[in-house]
Structure 1
Amino acid sequence: MPLQFIWLIESCWFFGTTICVFFNFMSFYLGCASVHNVALIAVDRYLALSNPFFYSKKITVNLIIFVVFLNWMFSLGYNVALLYCNGFFTHALTLCPSECLIMVNEIWSFVDLVVVFVLPCSIMLVLYLKVFAIAKRHANAITRVANSNPDANKSDVPKRSERKAAKVLGILVSVFLLSLVPAHICSFMVESIQRQIFNDVLKYMTTLFYLNSLFNPIIYALFYPWFQKSMTIIVRCRICSPESSLMQVK
């Protein structure tokens, strides 16, 4: 991100060819891994809510580490293949010193659209809709129990929980779409826009794509108290203590 922002401000690449190669490779690699991590969070939440007994028994720390490792390895292999097939490793050193753009052909642009946008976005939309349906069903069940018991405290907690779940999920998906859609639309407009204008627009749209990885933790911090407590434990280095796994954050 520092290199990206400097590039936007100066409108010219000042860091040389080697840094450009590293910058482009890490941009593709980290961007893909980040988007898939967000999709995996949706899978994790759906499993936790839809089948809590299965989740508590089968979804272990070792399994999570293995899945995250596979995600990063898949992202690495996919982006090496994408860049190699677009001549990145053979022609990167011949780039103009003042430019740092890698052009992807139409076929790979479509493949990248499916792998980095359509697939994770579909997973998020479907599973978060299911998560909201489960939360709504739980809220209705709590309301029925409260109404059937005249001595129960009839509060609006279920309704507030339902509204909060809808708000958080709506914001998450909306930010995800607003961050990724412009960059992918721009990648298909290379032939219809003047080159310099296209390069400038692509830089801004790519920056928005990168910022999605910044927006998500902020959203979680704003709406989830347990996330705030977890971040406090990490920032204060209390996570390094032996009893950190026993700390209550909920």
Structure 2
Amino acid sequence: MLKINITDHQQNITVQYCFPDNNSSCRKEVQTGPAYMFLFIVLSCISVCTVFLNLLVIISISHFKQLHTPTNLLILSLAVADLFVGLFLMPMKMMELADTCWYLGKLGCSILPVINFLSTSASLYSLVLIAVDRYIAVSDPLLYSTRISVCKMSVIIIIGWIFSLLYNILYLYFNDHFFQSQLRCYGECVLFVKHSWFIADVVIVFVTPCSIIIISYSLIFKIARYQAKAVRAVSNVVSVCQKDKVLNSSETKAAKTLGIVIFVYLTCWVPFFLCSLSVENVNSVSVVWTIFGWLMYMNSSVNPLIYAIFYSWFRESVKYILSCRIFESSSSTINLFPERL
């Protein structure tokens, strides 16, 4: 590494460059110290947990035939998108925090944002589809199986991923990212987003999905309350006090679950977009962008906890996976819902 010592009467400054043999190389800044070491350890643990939890979800739904349902396919799609976040994006962002230099060249700089946006947008649209799927299941449970099948859901998921990929490629293309014409020096990988495009992106990627999720879960909660009141009105088996207790418990549990879903989603996504709206030219290397970007990535760590760990079938499947019993010949047909026997 090339070092240039500039001696002054009061200080000695050491300047390092990313590529010493290149005259247009960027300056190198390496973050060290106990605080950064602690930060890297925490972020590494988050990345590992994100990969591990989502892998458990993917293996569970893929292996056990009993879990091959339309709703679980959406959870599988969500887990795949979140796995990419933990496996690729989080480690790359940690490298950017540790070292300001970009060593993967122009091709790597062009591909990384595609993976970044594809993973986050696919994760977000999976959340939207899960919300819509649950609304259909609650509003018309008798006709749900005829309207939504595994085959139809697979096609919908594939279309969603293709749309996310094409949209993100066009988004980066019209922001001149693939040409890298705005880079100031060699060894830099920066994404510059035009403010007009960012506004359009906010509407497509944030406002619309956010609205659908909130409206869907609000309607689900209203329908659940209506159905609970209907059951209370016609039931003659349980006493009035017992019925009120069961109803209140059911409503409270539903409210808490929906509240967690909406709260985590908004907490992870709102700060990033609201803060970026106040900037005329969005620069991906800014400190604020980095902090709120990591907050968005954290949603991929929490998603498996919300959409999978709370399910009894997931706890049962994890026992088989961790004990390596899935390698048994008939493990894929194991009943994960023993209470239904």
The interval holding the TM-score normalised by the smaller chain is 0.7 to 0.9
Q: 2: distance between equivalents of 1:192 and 1:19?
A: 23
Are 1:201 and 2:305 counterparts? no
Compared with structure 1, are the counterparts of its residues 50 and 188 closer, same or farther at alpha carbon in structure 2 (3 Å cutoff)? same
Q: 1:71: which partner in 2? A: 160
AA aligned to 1:88 is: H
Q: 1: distance between equivalents of 2:188 and 2:217?
A: 40
**What's the offset of the Cα at 1:57?**
1.4
**What's the offset of the Cα at 1:20?**
3.0
Q: 2: distance between equivalents of 1:67 and 1:123?
A: 17
Compared with structure 1, are the counterparts of its residues 64 and 78 closer, same or farther at alpha carbon in structure 2 (3 Å cutoff)? same
Q: 1:224: which partner in 2? A: 311
From 67, 75, 94, the counterpart of 1:5: 94
Alignment of 1:1-250 (within 5 A): 1-8=90-97, 10=98, 12-17=100-105, 18-91=107-180, 94=183, 96-97=185-186, 99-146=188-235, 148-149=236-237, 154=242, 156-191=245-280, 199-232=286-319, 236=324, 238=326, 244=332, 247-249=335-337
Q: CA deviation digits over 1:64-95, x for unaligned, max 9?
A: 10000000000011001100000011117956
Kindly indicate which of the two structures has a greater share of residues assigned to strand: 2
Compared with structure 1, are the counterparts of its residues 143 and 97 closer, same or farther at alpha carbon in structure 2 (3 Å cutoff)? farther
Whether contact under 8 Å (1:16, 1:97) holds in the other structure is no
Unpaired segments ≥5 residues, structure 1: none
Q: 2: distance between equivalents of 1:108 and 1:3?
A: 25
Compared with structure 1, are the counterparts of its residues 110 and 239 closer, same or farther at alpha carbon in structure 2 (3 Å cutoff)? farther
Q: 1: distance between equivalents of 2:293 and 2:238?
A: 57
AA aligned to 2:261 is: L
Q: Give the fraction of aligned pairs with identical amino acids, expressed as a percent.
A: 36
Q: 2: distance between equivalents of 1:5 and 1:208?
A: 13
AA aligned to 1:216 is: N
Q: CA deviation digits over 1:131-165, x for unaligned, max 9?
A: 1011111222222234x446799252222121111
AA aligned to 2:254 is: A
Compared with structure 1, are the counterparts of its residues 162 and 206 closer, same or farther at alpha carbon in structure 2 (3 Å cutoff)? same
Between the two proteins, the alignment pairs up a number of residues equal to 246
Unpaired segments ≥5 residues, structure 2: 1-89
SS in 2 for 1:65: helix
**What's the offset of the Cα at 1:246?**
6.6
Compared with structure 1, are the counterparts of its residues 72 and 153 closer, same or farther at alpha carbon in structure 2 (3 Å cutoff)? same
Q: Is the radius of gyration larger for structure 1 or structure 2? A: 2
SS in 2 for 1:247: coil
RMSD: 3.0
AA aligned to 2:154 is: I
**What's the offset of the Cα at 1:28?**
1.0
Q: CA deviation digits over 1:162-221, x for unaligned, max 9?
A: 11111111111111111111111232233399x79x701101111111211221111234
Compared with structure 1, are the counterparts of its residues 11 and 136 closer, same or farther at alpha carbon in structure 2 (3 Å cutoff)? farther
Compared with structure 1, are the counterparts of its residues 13 and 224 closer, same or farther at alpha carbon in structure 2 (3 Å cutoff)? farther
Q: CA deviation digits over 1:96-149, x for unaligned, max 9?
A: 455433111112101110111111111101110111011111222222234x44
**What's the offset of the Cα at 1:56?**
1.0
Q: TM-score, normalised by structure 1?
A: 0.85
